Chain A
Amino acid sequence: MKKSPRKKHIAFKKEFFALPYTAISIVFVVVPLLILLYYAFTDKYTGAFTLSNFSLFLDSAIWKILGISFLMALSTTVICLLLAYPLAMALAKLKSNSAFIVVMIFVLPMWINSLLRIYSVKLLFGDFIGIDKGFLLSLIGMVYDFFPFMLLPIYTSISTMNKGYFEASNDLGANSFKTFVKVQLPLSTPGITSGILMVFMPAVSTFAINDILGSSQYWLFGNEIFYWFQKSLYNTGSALAFVMLLLILLSVYFSNSLNKIISPNSKPSKKNGGVVNEK
């Protein structure tokens, strides 16, 4: 690579283009999170350091809420995965020019207002079919709301796979089931884990869906956080939001390490797949 002095000068200048955004995100993203942290660990009146905002976690009620949230998010994720994976496989079989349109059909709902989708679920499953507000209706709402986010990454990972691997696996004597389990599934783990992450995290933190489709009996962690902020009890609210943040960081870390364990070298295969498909 040869570098003319002028180019170096320009590159140096262009770097500064990122400065305004750096400043913006420090002021409006990093600082607010630090403020949240400050509120979580200080007393409402004195401003002194305290852990009392977390005293809620000594009560069993909050653990029940956390349990229900986890169960809800997990069920949503599993149902989405079980529906999305076969669908992604079926979509990947389509011819490329028709596939684009069909995939668009399934991804389109991502662009539709999520409250509107919740409302439509309420109309069909709640008012028309007659499912009462509660865990089940809430679950249906979540599956509808988050399904595209599971489908898209899985479809992307399956459709960019090197098809040669399947042929090789067949040639080497594996039947199609074995090929699926030993070849396709491991190769699609990056798609699966990012799909799981994209469904699980919003499902564990949402409150709007449950407010509209659920009942107070199945109060979720998101509802709890919103409740404290609505009551202007910011310190306890911040403490709960902080716990949510930890949960998210934990699940990101978990999915990243899962990715590394299952398919440590899945990236090269993607590249090869791209080359083969171009033929």
Chain B
Amino acid sequence: MKNKKVSKVFSITFIAIMAILVYLPTLLLVVYSFTTSKVIGQWSGFSFDLYRDMFADFEIMTALTNTLIVGVVASVLASLIGIVTAIGIYSMKKRYKSLLDGLTQITMVNADIVTAAAFMMFFILVQIIPDGFATLIVAHTVICCPYVIMSVLPKLATLDPNVYEAGLDLGATPHKTLWRVMIPQLLPAILSGFALAFTISLDDFTISTFVSSSVETIPQYLYNKLRFKGVMPVLRALSTLILVVAFVILLVVNIVQNKKSKKILFAGGITK
């Protein structure tokens, strides 16, 4: 009994130490975004100056807008394609299913740098798609699709097929049944797929660097500044902003998802 208690205290201490280690660098970043000092460890008074500098910086603001445009367009496209594809895969025969599974696995398993190089060679050879937003959106959409499919497919398997049948029996067209019956049930999974796609697009550095030389996204901007410019205090404010945005997205998704899944659970109870 005593042994068990000791091991519990030990494991909780271990968890706490690991959590501190994981978050220490990020915490430092956030704290030092409120002071203008060039060197970490030297506090030169609390101020929002870095944030003011950030919003006044044309390059940062352009990169932010680019990232958002690419992220929103690519993740919306990937979600639409992903949902439709998941429904297709779900109702497929096993042989084709494994073929499509293989296709979705390629970009997920492959190293980013190989995917990126392949995209680059494709865009150079084909030359129909103009460098910049177009190449970025195409590449991001393609790499995000599998993640949407992966989030929607397991949810589809848990749906009651009778509900779809019921929709048809009650006189709805297959099209209407899809949009009025299937999609609402899938909404939590779609939302998490969309959030995943959006995050992957925002996070992507390697593929963006290879496919776009004219349009700069935030990861590319960070890379260029960190590699060639060294320490720039304004990056701390930018990082904190990105951090806050990421947390808000995650929080919203979680809240909405919890609400939705409860509702659907309830609705499912009624239909049964």
Main secondary structure of the interface of B (DSSP, over half): helix
> Interface extent on A, as a size class?
35 or more
Question: Which residues A191-221 have CB closer than 8 A to chain B?
Answer: 201-202, 204-208, 211-212
CB-nearest residue of chain A to B138: A28
B91 contacts A234, CB within 8 Å?
A: no
Residues of chain B with a CB closer than 8 A to A244's CB: 111, 113-114
B202 contacts A124, CB within 8 Å?
A: no
Residues of chain B with a CB closer than 8 A to A17's CB: 84-85, 87-88, 91
Q: Say if the beta carbon of A15 comes within 8 Å of chain B.
A: yes
CA distance A29 to B116 in the complex (A): 10
A32 contacts B122, CB within 8 Å?
A: yes
Q: Say if the beta carbon of B194 comes within 8 Å of chain A.
A: no
CA distance A39 to B107 in the complex (A): 20
CA distance A63 to B74 in the complex (A): 39
A115 contacts B111, CB within 8 Å?
A: no
CA distance A210 to B171 in the complex (A): 61
A119 contacts B114, CB within 8 Å?
A: no
Q: How many B residues face the partner with a CB closer than 8 A?
A: 80
Q: Say if the beta carbon of B124 comes within 8 Å of chain A.
A: yes
Q: Say if the beta carbon of B265 comes within 8 Å of chain A.
A: no
Most B CB within 10 A of own CB, among A19, A25, A86, A204: A25
> Shortest distance in angstroms between B229's beta carbon and chain A's nearest beta carbon?
11
Residues of chain B with a CB closer than 8 A to A177's CB: none
Binding site for B on A (CB under 8 A): 6-7, 10-11, 13-22, 24-26, 28-33, 35-36, 39, 83, 86-87, 89-91, 93-94, 102, 105-106, 108-109, 111-125, 127-128, 144, 147, 201-202, 204-208, 211-212, 222, 225-226, 229, 234, 237-238, 241, 244-245, 248, 252
CA distance A25 to B6 in the complex (A): 54
Residues of chain B with a CB closer than 8 A to A20's CB: 81, 84-85
CA distance A220 to B156 in the complex (A): 42
Q: Say if the beta carbon of B203 comes within 8 Å of chain A.
A: yes
Interface pairs (18), CB distance under 8 Å: A17-B88, A21-B84, A21-B85, A22-B103, A25-B104, A32-B122, A89-B11, A90-B12, A93-B8, A113-B222, A114-B219, A120-B26, A124-B25, A202-B111, A202-B112, A205-B111, A212-B226, A234-B120
A229 contacts B112, CB within 8 Å?
A: no
B18 contact from A6, A13, A106, A234, Cβ within 8 A: A106
Residues of chain B with a CB closer than 8 A to A226's CB: 113, 209
Most B CB within 10 A of own CB, among A115, A125, A222: A115
Q: Say if the beta carbon of B266 comes within 8 Å of chain A.
A: no
With A24-B142, A113-B203 given, name 13 new contacts (CB 8 A).
A6-B168, A18-B89, A28-B122, A35-B118, A112-B242, A120-B25, A121-B25, A124-B24, A124-B25, A147-B22, A205-B111, A206-B206, A244-B111
Residues of chain B with a CB closer than 8 A to A238's CB: 117, 121
Known pairs A29-B103, A211-B227; A125 contacts B11 (CB<8 A): no
Residues of chain B with a CB closer than 8 A to A124's CB: 24-25, 28, 40
Residues of chain B with a CB closer than 8 A to A245's CB: 110-111, 114
A106 contacts B81, CB within 8 Å?
A: no
A114 contact from B19, B29, B174, B205, Cβ within 8 A: B205
Residues of chain B with a CB closer than 8 A to A105's CB: 19, 22
Known pairs A39-B121, A226-B113; A91 contacts B15 (CB<8 A): yes
> Shortest distance in angstroms between A88's beta carbon and chain B's nearest beta carbon?
10
> Shortest distance in angstroms between B261's beta carbon and chain A's nearest beta carbon?
14
Binding site for A on B (CB under 8 A): 8, 11-12, 14-15, 18-19, 22, 24-26, 28-29, 32, 39-41, 81-82, 84-85, 87-93, 96, 100, 103-104, 106-107, 109-115, 117-122, 124-125, 138-139, 142, 145, 149, 165, 168, 174, 199, 202-203, 205-206, 209-210, 218-219, 222-223, 226-227, 231, 235-236, 239, 242-243, 246-247, 249-250
CA distance A106 to B89 in the complex (A): 33
A123 contacts B40, CB within 8 Å?
A: yes
Residues of chain A with a CB closer than 8 A to B122's CB: 28, 31-32, 35
Residues of chain B with a CB closer than 8 A to A86's CB: 14
Most B CB within 10 A of own CB, among A21, A91, A204, A244: A21
Most A CB within 10 A of own CB, among B15, B111, B139, B165: B111
A115 contact from B11, B120, B205, Cβ within 8 A: B205
A127 contact from B19, B40, B145, Cβ within 8 A: B40
